[in-house]
Amino acid sequence: MSSMKSRPTLAELPLNPNDPPYSAWGLWGVDDEIGTLNLLDESTVTKATSEIQVGQRFSLNWSLASPRTPMFGRDTCEFSHKVYQHSPELIALDDELHFNTQKSSQVDGLRHAAYQKSGLFYNGKSKEDILKAGSLTLGIHQWHDNGLFAGRGILIDYWAYVKRHGKAYDAIGGAPITHDELMACLAEQSQLSKQTIEFRKAQTTPPKTSGVAQDERMLQFLWEKQVAIVGGDAPAWECLPPVPSSNFLYHEVLLAGWGCPIGELLWLEDLARACDEHKKWTFFLTSVPLNVPGGVASPANMIAIL
């Protein structure tokens, strides 16, 4: 929960009528560059540690070598890993990595996506603000300066839900996962356990562009629950192309509007099986992205502890 005395409703956004739709620019100050990370204060993190009850730890990260090439036309940035002996006089090995941060399990930072109509990133920053020489504006290094991501995570296991109900779901065909379906899935999990909300599982391997359908009710849900970070195993979290009736993209509102990072291509299979076994879909979640000054995105480096 936020320590702010009052928090606007979704209907009250944007805070400035000239700002883009649903944006919360200025909520944590006009110079804020960490967005929803502000929600993870000391009391919130302390309470979240009570979710550690079983002691099982799960990596939510694919191998950096998977998938073979980045998606959405980034095929010129293939992963490479070189192991070599740095000095012939010393029997010791080094290695070098080369990859696009959008390639495998990742967390998108606030430099990644802007509102497309205005071209503005979080808190009104422009592409020029970011690309100018030496600029660190909205870089992921600021997460390290402000405590990183640690808190209560919740898995909404949509794949298990469709299997229970004998529904068809095309995990690789761009299928939209509706708000009503996610809420029904969450309600069923709550009946099986004593838990509530935040994280989600979109599909099984291999993921493509299926994901959460663009729906204002889902924005309402995320805003009211004060979600600090979202994630799933799809390559974009949201379905692409967007549903025809939508007037927004989650990448615009979450990243550029609220400063809320998006986790993508997360490995959730092992965690999902354990959650079902223990009938417990909440856990302690941590993410330690790379400390890259001015970084745009990072491998997720995410762990869930039941």
Question: Which run of H or E residues covers position 163?
Answer: helix 158-164
Judge whether residue 275 has pLDDT over 80: yes
- Which tens digit of pLDDT belongs to each residue from 219-273? 999 999 999 999 999 888 998 888 999 999 999 999 999 999 999 999 999 999 9
In a domain, 148, yes or no: yes
Amino acid at position 248, single letter: F
Q: Percent of the chain at pLDDT above 90?
A: 76
In a domain, 156, yes or no: yes
Q: Cα separation of 254 and 122, whole Å?
A: 9
Q: What is the mean pLDDT of the chain?
A: 89
Burial class (CB in 10 A: 0-12, 13-18, 19+), 296: middle
Strand duo 211-212 + 230-231: pairing: unpaired
Quote the pLDDT of residue 265: 92
- R_g of the chain computed on alpha carbons: 19
In a domain, 272, yes or no: yes
In a domain, 260, yes or no: yes
Q: What range defines the domain where residue 237 resides?
A: 10-62+105-305
Quote the pLDDT of residue 204: 38
- Which tens digit of pLDDT belongs to each residue from 191-214? 765 433 344 444 434 334 788 999
In a domain, 100, yes or no: no
Question: Number of folded domains in the chain?
Answer: 1
* Residue 161 pLDDT class (50, 70, 90 cuts): very high
In a domain, 4, yes or no: no
In a domain, 90, yes or no: no
If one compares 191 and 170, the residue with the highest pLDDT of the two is 170
Write the CATH number for 155. Answer: 3.50.30
* Residue 76 pLDDT class (50, 70, 90 cuts): low
In a domain, 2, yes or no: no
Q: Cα separation of 257 and 116, whole Å?
A: 12
Q: Cα separation of 253 and 107, whole Å?
A: 16
